[in-house]
Amino acid sequence: MNGTDRVSIDTADVWPEDAEDDERLVVNWFVSKGSQVEAGNSICEFQVERVDVDVPSPVAGTIDPIVLEENAAFERGDTLAYISHE
C-alpha cells in the first residue's frame, strides 16, 4: 500500500472503565476529513453518562474518513474514524 497504513480509531480503546451505560454520542469533532494530526492531538469528544470524553489521536497521519459524525450514537467497538499514516 505504498508504505501508507490505515488505522481505525476504535471506540473500545477509549471506553471509560467504570461506565455502566451503553449509549454514547459523538459531541464534537475538532478535525475534519483530510486534517493532518499528530499523535496525541485531541481529535474529538463523545459523551458517556453525561461526561465528555476526549479522544486523542493514536498516531500521526491524515484523517480519512470520519465514520461517526457529530450527534451519531454508537456502541463499544464502533470505529470513529480512520487515519492514514506513513
Chain positions contacting other proteins, by CB under 8 A: 18, 23-25, 27-32, 35-37, 41, 45, 47, 49-52, 71, 73
The conformation of residue 21, written as its DSSP 8-state character, comes to -
Using the minimum distance from each CB to other proteins, give the nearer residue, 1 or 37. 37
Distance of CA 81 to CAs 19, 26, 34, 50, Å? 22, 12, 11, 22
- Short-list 23, 37, 39, 40, CA closest to 66: 37
Using the minimum distance from each CB to other proteins, give the nearer residue, 30 or 39. 30
Q: How far is the CB of 76 from other proteins (least distance, A)?
A: 14
| 16 and 51 Cβ atoms separated by less than 8 Å | yes
DSSP SS3 for 13: helix
Q: How far is the CB of 23 from other proteins (least distance, A)?
A: 4
Using the minimum distance from each CB to other proteins, give the nearer residue, 31 or 58. 31
Q: How far is the CB of 39 from other proteins (least distance, A)?
A: 15
